[in-house]
Amino acid sequence: MKKRNKKKITKNDELNQDKTESLNQVRRRIEDILLKREQDKLFELDMYY
């Protein structure tokens, strides 16, 4: 019984690890997009002046 529970926990840990990695990837992508947008705005401002 205990062994089975241990296995389940391990599987859940792997799943959580995967979710965390996915979240980190999404977060990075969002930061990249925001950075790019910020740079574009600055570039546009430079063009006006």
**Is residue 48's pLDDT more than 80?**
no
Please give the biggest Cα pair distance in the chain. 72
CA–CA dist 21, 44 (Å, integer): 35
Using one digit for the tens of pLDDT, what is the confidence trace for 17-27?
888 989 999 99
DSSP state of 15: H
The pLDDT value given to residue 22: 92
Using one digit for the tens of pLDDT, what is the confidence trace for 3-42?
666 667 678 888 888 889 899 999 999 999 999 999 998 8
CA–CA dist 9, 19 (Å, integer): 15
CA–CA dist 49, 38 (Å, integer): 17
Amino acid at residue number 7: K
The pLDDT value given to residue 25: 94
The pLDDT value given to residue 26: 94
pTM of the complete model = 0.56
